[in-house]
Amino acid sequence: MRFEQYQMIKKHALAACGQKLTLKDPTQLNPVILAYIGDVVFSLYVRLRLIPTSGQVRVVHDLGAKIVSAVMQAKAMDALETELDAEELAVAKRGRNTKSTVPKSASVREYRQGTAFEALVGYLFLMDKEARLEQILDKSFAYIQAVMQEERGK
């Protein structure tokens, strides 16, 4: 994307921020957008869970960054897949199959599976499925904690 295109898109986005918030039907949103929202939701959830465990921002940040990494999200998604209904599986599949650039910090599979997790979380959030979202977040957090403790014990 050229810088001029970026500037024009940014200007349009900033102008839209002043308008009333209206989102498309979450089932019609680009999976990258769902994943972006899911990343924010999961990051906030994790940090809110970690704050009571340590008053140190650095500790909360370091633990939070590890927990919300693509590697850990992929492990959580692997553990959750059998518990998802058809609608949730379809959203996760759309997230997993979306085209994106994979960072060096994760394998292609981990990154895609992490994106599937984030898309699912974003979808549940936007659909106001609070009980199911809380269930998914709680299970994911507990599973990731167990994985991290197991890794520490090795």
Q: Which residues are known to be catalytic?
A: 39
Q: Is 69 helix (H, G, I), strand (E, B) or coil?
A: coil
**Do residues 102 and 111 touch, judged by C-beta distance below 8 A?**
yes
Alpha-helical regions (H) of 51-107: 57-67, 70-80, 86-97
| Structure tokens, 88 | 């949730």
| Structure tokens, 60 | 């909360």
CA distance 139 to 154: 23
Angle 86-97/31-50 helices, nearest 10 degrees? 100
Spatial CA neighbour of 124 closest among 21, 22, 26, 33: 26
The one-letter code for the residue type at 127 is M
